Structure 1
Amino acid sequence: MIRIDNTNNPVVIEQLLKNSLCPGACFVPGFTREPFKARPGSLPFVVYFPSRYRGICVGTLISRSAAITAAVCVTNPTSHIHDRRPINVVTATPYRHPRRGIRVQVTKILIPNLSEVTGYRQYLMQKSAAVLMFKQAIPDVIAEVPLRPIDIDYLGDVQLTLQQECFMAGWHFFYQGDKIFPVHKFLLQRNLRAQFVNTAKKGIWCEALSLKFQKALTNLGFHGYFENTGSICVRDPDRSAQPCHGMYGSTLVCEGKAVGMMMAPDAQWTNCTGFSNIIHLFSSKYLKDFMTCISRLFDVETSFDWKYLKQSLYEDVSLEEYDYVPVVYDKLIPNLKESSSNEYET
């Protein structure tokens, strides 16, 4: 028997198993899928922006001058009147700080042409994507982390199977033992984090979330048929944490492509303790026309190799560094090695 200490890196463990370094059983103490600090530069396609409807939302680059996010982050599902004040997307940094990253103005927002029927529009809005068009592309020379888009699987090329390993990235995860505040407040972390999750049976692990989603939409006036084929269920097998508030618009990345997105906030708030999520797929039938239309905007310069992408997420496993005090997320441990980048306003 071989004992493996001082690593929570599933890629390292997978390599050990494949290389027959564990001919018998391996005891891996403390190995969980808890969210971890992603290596700076390993997720160049992730951006974020303040949302007037959802606090903070995540975006995913489809080109150097456009990002895809959740429609609920930029529109009001209950009203046809939209807030048209400027939106600035923070790019080129994994560190959430007012003086880090490059802020670029959004000049146009593309959303699906939704039905005007009361209730049905709210239903579609909850599980639809939107595209943010930037004022300009960000040159690599001034970027802390050069922007690189990721391929969006809107054709359904990635064949998802039961217990398939994927990951999500963002700045808020609900940990075991955390409390849900009585009002819609949540604590964000500073560093971009990633978490590996598995696809699971929706009827077992996401049934409660599905019922809450249906109830939330019924309260908004929708009384029609809920289509379930356009979404999947993902979960943390260890129930240690899950992507939650502040992660709307975060994509699920499988096989090196973004296959779906966390889009339904009206069902997520009270489900943070469930350690499962419903992810709406980009290849869904109701998004087919919209995704086909915006696909001309996709400008993927290079495809992400899935194995390399997973390996690149990790820091040196010999270093035990934490960027937050677990009890209070926004209390940081100073890191003198980090340097701030210049702010770039457009």
Structure 2
Amino acid sequence: MNKLVVLGVLASCFVPGLSREPFKARPGSLSFLVYFPSRYRGICMGALISRSAAITAAVCVTSATSYLHDTRPINVVTGTHYRHPRRGIRVQVTKILLPNLSEVKGHRQYLMQKSAAVLLLKQIVPDVLAEVPLRPIDIDYLGDVQLTLQQECLMAGWHFFYKGDKIFPVHKFLLQRNLRAQFVNTVKKGDWCEALSLKFQKALTNLGFHGYFENTGSICVRDPDRAAQPCHGMYGAPLVCEGKAVGMMMAPDSQWTNCTGFSNIIHLFSSKYLKNFMTCISRLFDVETSIDWKFLKQSLYVDISREEYDYVPAVYDKVVPNLFGSSSTEEV
């Protein structure tokens, strides 16, 4: 075979669409994502279910050892993919909706680790004010998306653990400025997420839960190229399959110590224990346009000639809430 032909074939194997390593998402391509400083988890993420409400992980807004959620002001940052104190629009959260969890201490903590919460925003952000006009995503709480082995899905956020990264005992993690996206595959939980499942069970046992661990409400996703995985600092990040959010990264007591395993446990919105809650909040869902999955995957890639500064050396540790300023003066 001609050398030029061989080189052409090899070059075609390295187009961006075939890479599984996290890449900078094109601004505006994931307009449903938001983030906010969490009292319990540093920085958390969420997905818009309407222009005035977002869904996130319950552990981001409530404590596993308390019956009360965080009553301090929370500002959700919307309308930007570039994480910076002066970018995006901060909208105050006026109300938090949580599932009616069990009053039994250990069982409540178990459910909280894999439950969702809804943040009601103070007002709608007009398109003219946002760098990235807000658009909610469809939540698959009925289980309409049929997940199969090796199905390609998408996760995005501001933190990934890369191959060769070390886990520090003080939970240090490197936050990034630019939103990154990664394609992952759904795989067998017993093969790739067994360690995560065992650590999750051990962590919940230490919190007082001694009951039965229900495994049908979660799935395992993995980076087949073993390049990177979303981990600490991305709680509330949705898993998007076939253009719908099917689940979310919710359980912190299993993820952190396995960040170099290139796999994650994702809890599904269609889980039996969330059925009543998701059915109740479904009246808040206001999806204006359905996401075309094929078009979304093609639209994610950004012109690398327009890269912006990506790392935040000063934040190479736990995030403190006052980094984002006062919520009373920065709300819409």
Scaled by the length of structure 1, the TM-score of the pair is: 0.87
1:192 equivalent to 2:179? Answer: yes
Deviation of the 1:184 alpha carbon: 2.3
Percent identical pairs in the alignment equals: 82
5+ long unaligned stretches in structure 2: 1-5, 315-328
Aligned mate of 2:236, from 238, 249, 269: 249
The CA RMSD measured in Å over matched residues stands at 1.7
Q: What CA deviation, in whole Å up to 9, does each residue of 1:34-82 have, x standing for no partner?
A: 1000000000000000000000000100000000000000000111133
Aligned mate of 2:53, from 60, 66, 89: 66
Aligned to 2:153: 166
C-alpha distance in 2 between matches for 1:197 and 1:40 = 21
1:182 equivalent to 2:182? Answer: no
5+ long unaligned stretches in structure 1: 11-30, 333-342
Which 4+ stretches in 1 moved above 3 angstroms? 5-8, 319-325
Q: 1:32 touches 1:240 (CA, 8 Å); kept in 2?
A: no
Aligned to 2:259: 272
Alignment of 1:1-346 (within 5 A): 1=6, 2-4=9-11, 7-10=14-17, 32-316=19-303, 319=304, 323=308, 329-330=311-312, 345-346=331-332
C-alpha distance in 1 between matches for 2:234 and 2:273 = 23
Aligned to 1:21: none
1:4 is paired with a residue whose SS is helix
C-alpha distance in 2 between matches for 1:331 and 1:321 = 21
C-alpha distance in 1 between matches for 2:308 and 2:259 = 23
C-alpha distance in 2 between matches for 1:6 and 1:160 = 27
Deviation of the 1:9 alpha carbon: 1.9
2:137 is paired with a residue whose SS is coil
Count of residues in correspondence between the two structures: 311
Q: What CA deviation, in whole Å up to 9, does each residue of 1:92-137 have, x standing for no partner?
A: 0000000000000000000000001010000000000000000000
1:106 is paired with a residue whose SS is strand
Partner amino acid, structure 2, of 1:154: Y
